[in-house]
A and B are shown apart, each in its own frame.
Chain A
Amino acid sequence: MRTKKLALRALAVMGVGVMALSFVACGGGGPAAPTGEDGMAQLTYPNYENTPNDKNSWEYIPDNNNMTIDWYVDVSSWPIPAENDVLRKIKEETGISIRFSTPVQDDGQKLATMIAGGDLPDVISVPSGKTQTLASLAQQGYVYDINTLADKWAPTLYDHLPEDVMDWWAYGNNKTYGVPNHYYSYEDVPADEQLQPNGGMMVRKDLFDAWQQVAQARADEEGMISYTALDGSTKKVEWQGYITTPEGFKEAAVWAMTNHYGTGKGGITTALQLSQFTDQGNSSLEWLAQFFAIPFETRDGKYEYRFTQKEYAEMLYYVNDLVTTRANGNTLISRDNFSQSYDGVGGVIAGGKAFATLATPQDYQMHFATAKDSGYEYVSMYITNSQGDAPVLADIRGYGYLMNMITTNCKRPDLVIKLFDFLTSDEGQRLICFGVEGSTWQWADAEKTQIAYTDEYLELKADKGSTVAGFGLMTMDLLINYQFYDNVQPRTNNGKTESELFRVNLKRPLTIYSYDYNATHFVVDATNERFQDYNNALARINALIGQQTTKILQASSRKDAERIYNQTLELLEKRNLALVVELNSAAYQKTKEKLGITVAWPAWQEGYVNPLDRTQPNGDLSLYRTY
């Protein structure tokens, strides 16, 4: 009996012990860092010797340094680079090898698990759209601020990382917690240069040319086509530009679907292909809003929320009209579009099955290239609103879609910030963009202003049987100053394949309509006490808009679409849109102050010249580059 009791007691103790162990095991990461007056975590920095600024900080890394850091990129599709010359050169210069990892899915679970388990790697790259995660990482002490790290161990980082890039992501405490990738700095963009747009409209060239013949045949003696506008008035436009009006585009779409619908070779299944509909919305609608020149601020310079704008509603009704109008029994925009995945959209483009597309061209550049190889070349085109305002497109500049952050788990933050310094320097940028000097490129002039690819590299690239992946150009793209690349790259067509040139030029003719939209890329202050409520509301509002937009676009009539739109406005109020607009407005004003502007909408800025040219429906084709 005694033995039995003892056994039971042992079992009970074991159970309690295991439970206690489980609690301990779940408590990864140690205690949370204390919060400072600025609302951010107060961190203790390692006690390494400060680095002077008399030479580049990475030159202070001991020659015998040999360490491997873990770098986690929170994007499943980011291609982990294989061992290559660029990574070897980075190791040679800094003594640091990088071991990259990515998640299987983009659901945030891997990062959440690493944080919960106290297993954060040395460096993490988090999408900059995840505002809450970025702010929380800083607030809760999981990442170091870049300013303090640079002050202590990499003072020359301030010389290499453009100031506007550094400041852009600063929170209320004027500290920045990461360095973005793919940034375009004001310091690097030439003053007289317009950058190409971020979004773009493309049309299948053979069908476009065929339609233009139809339009030309309809023109009067003066080469004009008169048509009934959406507001019922009669308008006239040059026959070349009829397709650039919403009314003309609809007519062209009906013509295309009537004459060219088919799943077989050469046929199309939709007149306008939009990008994938997700519960976070649809990027095509943002591009269309820019083509329709819908301002993002009021005349007196106040922030405007896109979805609640009257003009935006009208745009949705126009798309609804395309979805409900039938030609040959088929809707102009296929309903298939609303349930297509990214691959589904890409399949339509690659197969040349769309008359026109509004999907982000760079996201589908390989699909457009495939279509071209199959004989279906797409060219850029624009569309305007019914009033005839010129498109106001957002240019491609920005401050990155990923934030590279040095975590408080980092083995040697003093060395990793030096690595960042090296990578953001001109030397580092040339390395990650063009490869190892002498191997893939060399200076083209004595003053070292121009580079040229080496013959060996060009020969290998031209040889289809060889691969140049081992050189590692553009593979380590987590800290690329893209404008630097654009400024320094050789102005000759060598070094690029025909397919690469095609992709470079996809939407370049639309550059005449592109402008600086940086004011809209505001950063909401994470130190605001309502930031969490803001994020919760924002997540639900974005999801609601994503859901309701598909209903509005697929509504059976305009009346029905209006009903759903008005119902959505009521639901948005219930989901605390007022808070989102309030904090967005404050951030927007602050951003404008930072940029030193009072009017951000390009068409209302002083010196704006209307670039609209109806005779060039594809944009300015002279802007095509040969390099």
Chain B
Amino acid sequence: MAKENELLFDETCAVSADVAEAAPAGSVAQKKERKKRKRWSMNDWVLLAMASLSVVFLAIFAYAPLYGLILAFKDGDGWLNISHAISQADWCGFENFEAFFSDPDFGNIILNTLGLNLLQLAINFPLPILFAVLTAELISNRYKKFVQTVTFFPHFISWAVYGGIFLSLFALDTGLPALLQKWGITGDKVDILGGPEYFWPIIIITSLLKGMGWGSVIYVAAIAAIPQELYEAAKMDGANRFHKIMYITIPSIAPTITLFFILSVSGLLNNGIEHLLVFQNTSNIERSEVLDTYIYKYGIPDFRYSYATAIGLIKSLVALFLLVSSNWVCKKISGKGIY
């Protein structure tokens, strides 16, 4: 193996040397050759057409909607037609932002948004990695596939159905709380669905159960791409399983982990709504109201487009800041980033 690498190295050096020798003699013929190569072939046009699709996509779905951000600075609440709100509503400066910052619920909503996301980052981010690493260590392929299928399956069920199972399971009078009390494990029925203190744990656990298998896919793929020769070499050097995980697997998938970590940090203000709305009720609202549910409830149904846009803009700016700073920190620490 080492010998082969050596040969390859020598050949590369030889090619480089040839080019180096030929360069000073840069002739008119060579320039012509280079120019000739730059003439676009049919393949180049096809590639351009394919690439332009992404430009079109970004233009429609990423850049064109940016125009709508001016709604955040307009008095467009109550306008039924967003286009009319954008073009005809009066400018109002930062009033929509001030309205949000001065809202009595502002602090609570930010606390819930950040708290829940930080917890998810601390728990739900590393666990799929650990799961992928442990799955890769399974010897029986059939068992491995079984585990992966079982853990993937919940991802394909909607939150309305999946959440409904837990709503029935945790029903106070007919579910787990009643059983636990009956068995004498708890003195009183624990109001899991109504207690604000249980909301974050419910979200963490249910999203973990639903998404851990799916979330580990990318890491499983990254682990599969690690050359087996590295493990064989380590084995010959006396490395045990733990050593192989620590010194081969984890470092090999580190770029993937870094990429997803940076993206997760930039999404610290995003919770999504379908998951939260399943478990949200008026009893746990003080811990379940996050930015996304707040915008959903008071933005669109009440036609408060300007207010919702202002909050969305704040979210985007914070996300941008988090993306840049987390990328910078990752590069400083590990030398790896997404750009």
The interface of chain A, by Cβ under 8 A from chain B, is 1, 3-4, 7, 11, 14-16, 18-19, 22-23, 26-29, 31-32, 107-109, 112, 115-116, 118, 132-133, 136-137, 140, 142, 263, 269-270, 277-279, 329-330, 334-336, 338-339, 341, 344, 353, 532, 535-536, 539-540, 543, 546-547, 549-551, 554, 571, 574-575
* Interfacial chain B residues near A14, Cβ < 8 Å: 52, 55-56
Given contacts A3-B39, A22-B59, contact A136 B174 (CB under 8 A): no
A-B contact pairs, 28 of them (CB 8 A): A1-B38, A3-B40, A4-B38, A7-B40, A18-B60, A19-B63, A27-B87, A28-B81, A107-B301, A108-B303, A109-B300, A109-B301, A132-B78, A133-B303, A140-B80, A263-B174, A279-B282, A335-B172, A335-B189, A335-B194, A339-B172, A339-B281, A539-B298, A543-B298, A547-B282, A547-B286, A550-B283, A551-B283
Q: Are B55 and A11 in contact (CB under 8 A)?
A: yes
* Interfacial chain B residues near A334, Cβ < 8 Å: 172-173
Given contacts A19-B63, A22-B64, A116-B82, contact A336 B301 (CB under 8 A): no
Number of residue pairs A-B, CB distance < 8 angstroms? 152
Alpha-carbon gap, A550 to B84, bound state (A): 39
Which one, B52, B173, B282, contacts A269 given CB within 8 A? Answer: B173
Residue among B39, B77, B167, B174 with the highest chain A CB neighbour number at 10 A: B174
Which one, B171, B173, B296, B301, contacts A270 given CB within 8 A? Answer: B173
The 4 closest A-B pairs by CB, nearest first: A336-B172, A22-B64, A108-B301, A27-B83
Minimal beta-carbon separation of B125 from chain A (angstroms) = 29
Given contacts A11-B48, A269-B174, contact A18 B297 (CB under 8 A): no
Q: Are B81 and A115 in contact (CB under 8 A)?
A: yes
Q: Is B178 an interface residue (CB 8 A)?
A: yes
Which one, B40, B52, B282, B304, contacts A550 given CB within 8 A? Answer: B282
* Interfacial chain A residues near B281, Cβ < 8 Å: 277, 338-339
Q: Are A263 and B178 in contact (CB under 8 A)?
A: yes
Bits for B58-89, please: 1 = Cβ < 8 Å to A, else 0. Answer: 11100111011000000001111111100110
Q: Are B81 and A32 in contact (CB under 8 A)?
A: yes
Given contacts A14-B56, A263-B178, A335-B191, contact A26 B82 (CB under 8 A): yes
Q: Are A29 and B64 in contact (CB under 8 A)?
A: no
Given contacts A19-B60, A263-B178, A339-B194, contact A115 B283 (CB under 8 A): no
Alpha-carbon gap, A106 to B174, bound state (A): 29
Q: Is B118 an interface residue (CB 8 A)?
A: no
Given contacts A28-B81, A32-B84, A339-B193, contact A112 B285 (CB under 8 A): no
* Interfacial chain A residues near B193, Cβ < 8 Å: 339
Closest to A15 in B: B59
Bits for B1-44, please: 1 = Cβ < 8 Å to A, else 0. Answer: 00000000000000000000000000000000000001110000
Alpha-carbon gap, A31 to B88, bound state (A): 9
Q: Are B82 and A136 in contact (CB under 8 A)?
A: no
Q: Are B298 and A540 in contact (CB under 8 A)?
A: yes
Closest to B301 in A: A108
Alpha-carbon gap, A64 to B63, bound state (A): 51
Minimal beta-carbon separation of B53 from chain A (angstroms) = 10
Q: Is B238 an interface residue (CB 8 A)?
A: no
Q: Are A547 and B285 in contact (CB under 8 A)?
A: yes
Minimal beta-carbon separation of A128 from chain B (angstroms) = 15
Q: Are A136 and B194 in contact (CB under 8 A)?
A: no
Q: Is B227 an interface residue (CB 8 A)?
A: no
Given contacts A19-B60, A22-B64, contact A140 B81 (CB under 8 A): yes
Alpha-carbon gap, A28 to B285, bound state (A): 37
Closest to B190 in A: A335
Alpha-carbon gap, A263 to B189, bound state (A): 14
Alpha-carbon gap, A380 to B96, bound state (A): 50
* Interfacial chain A residues near B197, Cβ < 8 Å: none
Q: Are A108 and B300 in contact (CB under 8 A)?
A: yes
Alpha-carbon gap, A128 to B55, bound state (A): 45
Q: Is B335 an interface residue (CB 8 A)?
A: no
Q: Is B137 an interface residue (CB 8 A)?
A: no
* Interfacial chain B residues near A344, Cβ < 8 Å: 171
Alpha-carbon gap, A540 to B77, bound state (A): 14
Alpha-carbon gap, A137 to B188, bound state (A): 51
Closest to A139 in B: B78
Q: Are A29 and B104 in contact (CB under 8 A)?
A: no
Q: Is B232 an interface residue (CB 8 A)?
A: no
Closest to B172 in A: A336
* Interfacial chain A residues near B283, Cβ < 8 Å: 277, 338-339, 550-551, 554
Closest to A140 in B: B80
Q: Is B98 an interface residue (CB 8 A)?
A: no
Alpha-carbon gap, A133 to B178, bound state (A): 44
* Interfacial chain A residues near B39, Cβ < 8 Å: 3
Alpha-carbon gap, A18 to B282, bound state (A): 44
Q: Are B104 and A279 in contact (CB under 8 A)?
A: no
Q: Are B55 and A536 in contact (CB under 8 A)?
A: no
Q: Are A15 and B304 in contact (CB under 8 A)?
A: no
Alpha-carbon gap, A269 to B84, bound state (A): 53
Minimal beta-carbon separation of A42 from chain B (angstroms) = 15
Alpha-carbon gap, A535 to B281, bound state (A): 23
Closest to A261 in B: B173
Q: Are B302 and A140 in contact (CB under 8 A)?
A: no
Given contacts A18-B60, A112-B303, A334-B172, contact A277 B282 (CB under 8 A): yes
Minimal beta-carbon separation of B59 from chain A (angstroms) = 4
Given contacts A112-B303, A115-B81, A133-B303, contact A263 B173 (CB under 8 A): yes
* Interfacial chain A residues near B167, Cβ < 8 Å: 341
Alpha-carbon gap, A536 to B308, bound state (A): 13
**Interface members, chain B 270-308 (any A CB < 8 Å):** 281-286, 296-298, 300-304
Minimal beta-carbon separation of B58 from chain A (angstroms) = 8
Q: Are B80 and A142 in contact (CB under 8 A)?
A: yes
Alpha-carbon gap, A263 to B182, bound state (A): 11
Minimal beta-carbon separation of B52 from chain A (angstroms) = 6
Given contacts A335-B189, A335-B191, contact A116 B81 (CB under 8 A): yes
Which one, B60, B104, B173, contacts A575 given CB within 8 A? Answer: B104
Q: Are B84 and A140 in contact (CB under 8 A)?
A: yes
Q: Are B83 and A26 in contact (CB under 8 A)?
A: yes
Closest to B280 in A: A279
Q: Are A112 and B300 in contact (CB under 8 A)?
A: yes
Closest to A546 in B: B282
* Interfacial chain B residues near A7, Cβ < 8 Å: 40, 48
Alpha-carbon gap, A334 to B178, bound state (A): 12
